[in-house]
Structure 1
Amino acid sequence: MLLHPPVEPMLAQARERLPGAGALAGGLGFEPKFDGHRAILFTPAGAGEPVLLQSRRGALIQRNFPDLVAAARQLPPGLVLDGELVVWTEGRLSFEALQRRAVAGSRAVPALAVEMPAHFIAFDVLQTGEVLLGRAYSERRAMLEALFTDHGLAPPWTLCPMSLDPTVAQGWMESWTEVQGVEGCVIKGLAQPYTPGRRGWVKVRRRHTIEAVIGAVTGSLQRPQLLVLGRYDTGGRLRAVGRTTVLKPEAARQLAGHLEQAAPGHPWTGVRFTAAWGSRELLDALLVVPELVAEIAADTSIDKGGAYRHPLRFIRLRLDVTPADVPLFGEGARPADG
């Protein structure tokens, strides 16, 4: 039976550094990690069927990407590709432009498709008229490369680079991640089948920034002033890691439409938060549902308990990831001297 949406994508677990050469029997493949939205593309298997584009969470989003739907006419029937949606503007990958396209109303979609055309970076093939989930990654990769060669695929279709050489991957971590929109590496076992919903891959981001879960805010849900952030520990407990500096008006507006006040039973019920590391001044914090992930900039000053000594700087809201994608509390952290 052929695949139909929703198909759960295979996922990756976050790690702080690249695995060693002997980390997985059968060898490893390394791919650069692009800063976009995960998507699965389905071409029609029969006459009259539509092109479908599925988000990571299972929603059908082809309405917002008519440019990709039109370009899919050059793809063979019954094809299912896994990859990353990105938007390239002004010589760089723009996550902000992609977010704008993803949430645009129907009237704005046609103009945005022209102004901000989307690209699909394919890194796996799940079906080519037959389901390939049980095939090894190395086989699927060879079939994906053959697809691009045999059909002469060109933008908006892009074949994700892949290398078997860990030194090449290290080079990506040191140089490619200086390019906005390329944020690290994904590591896959060459012998691995594609297992939907399983975190069988590994992803490593170069840590100019980190992610954390929003557990509380000051101010109000409509006008948040700063965020109190946390990470889950190995026991499933949400542990506070720090607070942000005062949010800029644009950031506060971005967050306002997504924050939701927590119901009784929040992990931080009864907890009091101080205004700064080592301070006795308490924050008047409002607990929120801990389902949103923030990308933040942080220095290396971490206390022995795993919390950041200095205020964190909010960069953006990551609607494309979940708390399960955030590294665990204390993972990769080194306490500051003194």
Structure 2
Amino acid sequence: MVLRVPQVMLARAADVLPDGPYAYEAKWDGFRCLAVRPAGGRTRLLSRKGTDLTRAFSDVAAAVDRDLPGDQDEILDGELVVFAGQRLDFSRLQKRLSRRGAALAREIAEAPAHYVVFDVLAYGEGLTAFPYRRRRDLLEHVFRDLALGPPLTLCPMTLNRAEAQTWMTEWAAVGIEGCVAKALSQRYEEDRRGWTKVRQRTTHEAIVGAVTGTVRRPAGVLLGRYDSRGRLRYAGRSVPLATEVREDLAERLVPAADDHPWAGYTFSAAWGAREALHTTLVMPEIVAEFSGDTAVDQGRWRHPVRLLRLRVDLEPADVPAFGS
């Protein structure tokens, strides 16, 4: 019988953690990943979209093969992360995807990945219909009974909301993005945003809707977020892009179609200025992470923001709504 791989359960963004019968887990800055191992078979690592990550993270796949029983169907859900010193390094994580051969081997040796596991979806039997509390208990038993260790890591969890809020502040320095709240009685609902995620907001995400310069040589970006009516609203523009970000963006940009939501719009070169920016519209498919100050007026950053990196692991639907 072929092992069926479920679609991942997702989280919706919120400003505060919910209170009640919830578990609170640390939210990691990495790649969402299912570790899938059929009885008697080898482990495959799959992204949230189903992309095979096994080659790029062969060190993690080998650890699952080595440390789990393997005589039964097993599916784990978690996050792939890479540390640089005492902090998570998302750019080093992304490098794995573009490396081959000796270059990939060096990357694995220099920056080993960790797999932070927060759920178990199959362990001899399918578990998605079971409540979170039961799945978590089993996962803790598996880690304890098998004495699992790096690169496999059990995601920290607390039932105390105040403790979770403390984590968000104290752990931000190492790259923990925030917390995810999960109802204790909740089953694993495939492809549904049934969990709640809250980020420590030192950085933000938005969608690249246009660029200054050209598609192949972007100089800066114009960012947007969707509002409650599904309209892509302008949220701000960036300062000139760093070389690494500009090159990465140029490889991914797609020229806009005729029905782009900003077709016919003009954008000011500065807040309150009459001078218009010369822009090139692009398909609003790329999510970017940026840093900005607190001068935000009705959902729009008044001062230019700094684009930090592209978030190839996120989709436009993962971006917080305009004004949030």
TM-score (norm 1): 0.92
- Provide Cα deviations, 1:160-213, integer angstroms capped at 9, x if missing partner: 00000001011011111122x211001100000001100000111111011111
- Give 1:37 shift: 0.3
Shift of 1:43: 2.0
Number of residue equivalences: 321
What is the aligned counterpart of 2:277 among 280, 283, 292? 283
| Post-superposition offset of 1:107 | 4.3
In 2, distance between residues paired with 1:110 and 1:216? 37
- The superposition leaves residues 212-264 of structure 1 with CA deviations (integer Å, 9 ceiling, x where unpaired) of 11000010112111110000001110000111111122221121111111111
Aligned equivalent of 2:76, options 69, 81, 95 = 81
Contact 1:3–1:127, Cα closer than 8 Å, also in 2: no
Match of 1:4 in 2: 4
Residue 220 in structure 1 maps to residue 214 in structure 2 = yes
Q: Distance in 1 between matches of 2:288 and 2:269?
A: 19
Residue of structure 2 equivalent to 1:54: 46
Q: 2:167 aligns with which of 169, 172, 179?
A: 172
Which residue in 2 is equivalent to 1:94? 89
In the alignment, which residue of structure 1 is the partner of 2:16? Answer: 17
Q: Say whether 1:243 aligns with 2:243.
A: no
The one-letter code matched in structure 2 to 1:71 is: A
Query: Which residue number in structure 1 is paired with residue 307 of structure 2?
Result: 314
Aligned position for 1:335: none
- Are the counterparts in 2 of residues 64 and 106 from structure 1 also a CA contact under 8 Å? no
Distance 2:7 2:250 in 1: 29
Report the alpha carbon displacement of residue 102 of structure 1 after superposing the two structures with TM: 2.3
Q: Indicate the percent of aligned positions where both proteins have the same amino acid.
A: 50
Cα pair 2:87 2:173 within 8 Å, conserved: no
* Superposition map of 1:1-338 within 5 A: 3-5=3-5, 7-19=6-18, 21-22=19-20, 27-46=21-40, 49-72=41-64, 73-77=66-70, 78-179=73-174, 181-304=175-298, 306-331=299-324
Q: Is the 8 A contact 2:28 2:176 kept in 1?
A: yes
Quote the Cα distance in structure 2 between the aligned partners of 1:293 and 1:231.
10
Query: Is contact 1:41-1:54 (8 Å) kept?
Result: yes
Aligned-pair CA distance for 1:148: 0.2
In structure 1, how many angstroms separate the alpha carbons of the residues matched to 2:145 and 2:243?
50
Q: Is the partner of 1:13 in helix, strand or coil?
A: strand
Q: Counterparts of 1:12 and 1:310 in 2: how far apart (Å)?
A: 30
Unpaired runs of at least 5, structure 2: none
**Distance of 2:309 and 2:235 partners within structure 1:** 17
Q: Which amino acid aligns with 2:43?
A: V
**Change in 2 beyond 3 A, CA 1:44/1:111:** farther
What one-letter code is carried by the residue in structure 2 that aligns with 1:276?
A
